[in-house]
A and B are shown apart, each in its own frame.
Chain A
Amino acid sequence: MERYRELRRLVHDPFLLLLVTLVFALLALFIVYPLVRVLATSLFYRGEFNPKYFLQFFQRRYLIRPFLNSLTVGGLVAMLGTIIGFVFAYAVTRTDIPGKSLFKVIATFPIISPPFLIALAAILLLGNHGLITEFLRARFGIDWDIYGLPGLVLTETLAYFPLAFMTLEGVLSGIDPALEESALDLGASRLRTFFKVTLPLATPGIASALLLVFIRSLEDFGNPIVIQGHYPVLTTQAYLAVTGMYNLPLAATLSVILLVPTLLAFVLQRYWVSRRSYVTVTGRPTPSSLKATTPGLKWGLFAVLCVLSGIILLFYGLVFYGSLTRMWGLDNTLTLENFRYVFSTGLDYLLDTLKIAGMATPIGGILAVVIAYLVTRKRFPGRGLMDFLSMLNFAIPGTIVGIGYILAFHNPPFQLTGTAAIIALVFIFRRMPVGIREAVAMLQQVDPAIEEAAVDLGAGFARAFRRIVLPLISPAFISGMVYIFVRCVTAISAVVFVVSAQWQLITVALLHEVDNADLSQAAAYGVVIILVVLGVILLLDNVLGRLILRRWQRAR
């Protein structure tokens, strides 16, 4: 009865009805349908049920090896990344070391830059013609390079520890220092306090960080494609199956195999670990009086943070330096030639990237805000389903999404391959979940009575949304758009499948240069990407943000 009434109510709010229908249609077409196609392709062959690659899973090295490799890398990266993340988080929340905010900024570099820039830097340093490699070869006659497992672990750890850091920083700053002080007060040693109080309280956060980094490592495509050597992982193997062998059933099977551990980790993180959190959110945590650390520990942590931050800075510095050399490793004379190359030959890639990102950003931003609003504030049949579907791509590796899009949109009725639209759609539906979360978080701080008042006074959905909701959550709207744009400019794992001769992306161009061993030109692309990202963050966050926020802030 109530359901039926919800439905009838929708009829009297035609715009809302239209919107709900439209959102469901979009989610079905661009999230569910590609996934279904991947599953179907992995299970059916020529119209018959024939999961041949699944059946051969344990016999074929090209199936089982990437799987085991992915798990090995994922496990190692998760452990190392979480340890480093914890050290960072502990130092920042539990000591009064100098330069905290600088460390935080440095730790966000890998998050906002394309993660595979770290792999590029690692190659500049430790690759075939790397600075250290050449040095070792010339001085000691040692022929060693970083390709393979060591390179993967090194680069992915550096690329994804910030995620663990941010998770754990939240967890640790949520633990009231009064608890640690009580333990010390009751006579426990600092070590005992750490192991008996701090660590147990942080355990759910640590588990959460482990799983998140594990997922990111499994999903990573950019670093492995650059640095894997002869150590294939699932994402790269699936890519190879598409581009090298044009074997879509194999690619689909590999991506489904990738999906299993990723989804498992996601479900574990979301529904099990996060429920066990001891952290109670009761406003601002009391400022720590920092009694739990000794000066020795404090400066020890400081040193570790300096070294790690130094490595990150060194890596990014190398990319800048590399972009200014004629031919990395062979001819290190300085030149601006690479940038001329990027802005002539590479200009199309850059413009394509900006055009597509420019399309995807506002659409994705608005869609995210609309969905967030619908699922948090409106009542209609299927609301829970909309929530679930819209967040689904958050848990699904880009490789599957990319393969799904080729499978789904290669033939009529939805023929999109080769267009800019397919790339934009990948961006929109892959990056929307973060925008949705931000908007939901912001909406939860807005008194529902404000919108209810608007509707009560006669405003329909469209007006209430545009005049009341959107202005009130504009900060989330803007930061959601910044996020989507940044991801558009730095993304690789899903879009690598849907780029075409007509529409190329700058990240893909960078990979091609790495493939051709033109490291200097690759580095120049990397520098341009970083500059674009920084420029956009500053522009959108400051200029646009201020314009929109001015009125609302005056009200504050």
Chain B
Amino acid sequence: MPVEVRLEGLTKVFHSHRESVVAVDRLDLEVEKGELVTLLGPSGCGKTTTLRLVGGFEIPTAGEVYLGGRRVTHLPPQRRDTATVFQSYGLFPHMTVFENVAFGLKVRRLPREEVRRRVREALKLVNLEGLERRYPRELSGGQQQRVALCRALVIEPKVLLFDEPLSNLDAKLRVETREQIRKLQKELGITSLYVTHDQAEAMAISDRIAVMSEGRLQQIGPPYEIYAHPANRFVADFIGRANFLRAVVRGPRDGRVEIELLDGVRLEVPAVADLHEGDEVVAVVRPEAVDILPEGEGDVTATVTFAHYTGSLATYKLALPGGETMEVEVLSPQEKGFLSEGTRVGVRFHRQSVHLLRE
């Protein structure tokens, strides 16, 4: 697939009275045609600034932006073939739904009939037929969101930019809408760059996720890859929950590697490159990647120090004999029996899910 968006060494420094803040720091990123890439990170990580640099709303301090192989760094937004779905939607309050959606087409001087046809088709696509004459204020939040999406889609941009488009919707609508966005994006094959701080949203919607922190790209890859093989502690911690257990490498074994935890437990886990005997590593263990067994079974015996029940899940904190604690989630606790604090249990690690980090 050809590359549609390419960012090269993209850097943005904001200057205020006293200090300079590096919002985006030498970012390299490629988005392939038809792909949806999410920029994910905590607030202030530079993801929205990156999106605005691609849209042309900010001028980069250094680096270049390429759209479809063409350098556009010097072009203002109206000369770029992008369309943005804004967090606050940015609907024109003095125009009807129809006029809002038609705006970009009229700018392109399309014949009146074609404008009408395309607006109608686009509104149908997002289930807004019949609301053409309404003003934005007369619409629900979800409808406003769809008008914003529709207005961006209708001009058939090379790249769609989403700036936390679901953050103003309630939780249930958010899930519905993100499914709808993903479906449309796939059907129409529109290259998309999507900004969110919600990792579940990112996991659900993306072809690839680019995790950012402090202006830097931490890792980029498919959701599965990011979750299973986080590149560092930040990514492991930000995507899902993670326990970090200290361990020492005891030696490679048939394409795998044996590690020893503080408790003396030895596990054979998938290898990562460049590990040598005696290296100190951190084992990333997801809360769901262990089994709770009766005391005496499994790899090690632990004590429940905290128990929390939320219906579908039970969350326990376990004190391991080596002095570390770890968080464990057990699905459908009704089936397995809810454990009370102080209970001693056996723990078995899922070998295949343990991911090693060197620090």
Contact = CB atoms under 8 A, between A and B. Distances in A.
Contact of B61 (A2, A447, A453, A468): A2
Given A463-B107, A472-B93, A555-B94, A455 B61 contact: no
Interface stretch (B74-82, B212-220, B250-258): B74-82
Interface stretch (B52-60, B224-232, B241-249, B274-282): B52-60
A16 to B, nearest CB: 8
B216 to A, nearest CB: 20
Nearest to B161: A456
A148 interface: no
Contacts of A471: 94
B59 A9 contact: yes
A305 B75 CA distance: 61
Contacts of A143: none
B90 interface: yes
Contacts of A450: 90-93
Contact of B60 (A5, A12, A467, A472): A5
Contacts of B135: 554-555
Nearest to A8: B74
Contacts of B73: 5
A460 interface: yes
Interface string A102-142: 00000000000000000000000000000000000000000
Contact of A452 (B62, B86, B94, B137): B86
Given A450-B90, A457-B103, A12 B59 contact: no
A556 B135 CA distance: 8
A453 B86 contact: yes
Given A454-B103, A457-B151, A457-B155, A379 B59 contact: yes
Contacts of B162: none
B191 interface: no
The DSSP consensus for interface residues of chain A is helix
A260 to B, nearest CB: 28
Nearest to B12: A2
A453 B84 contact: yes
B336 interface: no
A449 B90 contact: yes
Contact of B137 (A12, A13, A556): A556
A458 interface: yes
Nearest to B83: A456
A13 B79 CA distance: 9
A1 interface: yes
Interface in A438-458: 447, 449-458
| Main SS class of interface, B | loop
Nearest to A474: B94
A156 to B, nearest CB: 39
Interface in A293-349: none
B108 interface: yes
Interface in A403-462: 447, 449-460
Given A9-B74, A458-B104, A453 B59 contact: no
A463 B62 CA distance: 30
A183 to B, nearest CB: 36
A230 interface: no
Contacts of A472: 93-94
B93 A457 contact: no
A555 B139 CA distance: 11
B136 A555 contact: yes
B192 to A, nearest CB: 15
Nearest to B82: A456
B93 A458 contact: no
A453 B62 contact: no
A554 B77 CA distance: 30
Nearest to A552: B94
Contact of A551 (B60, B75, B87, B94): B94
Contacts of B93: 450, 472, 552, 555-556
B88 interface: yes
B89 interface: yes
Contact of B78 (A5, A379, A455): A455
Most central of B55, B60, B78, B151 by chain A CB within 10 Å: B78
A452 B59 contact: no
A6 B148 CA distance: 28
A452 B57 contact: yes
A457 B102 CA distance: 10
Given A1-B62, A457-B151, A457-B152, 13 more contacts: A13-B76, A449-B87, A450-B93, A452-B90, A453-B91, A455-B76, A455-B78, A456-B78, A456-B152, A467-B103, A472-B93, A552-B94, A555-B94
Interface of B: 13, 55-57, 59-62, 73-79, 82-84, 86-95, 103-104, 107-108, 135-137, 148, 151-152, 155
17 contacts: A1-B61, A5-B59, A5-B73, A8-B74, A9-B59, A447-B88, A449-B87, A452-B57, A452-B86, A456-B78, A459-B103, A467-B103, A472-B94, A555-B95, A555-B135, A555-B136, A555-B137
**A-B complex: 9 closest residue pairs judged by Cβ atoms:** A449-B90, A457-B104, A453-B90, A449-B86, A458-B107, A555-B135, A455-B77, A552-B94, A8-B74
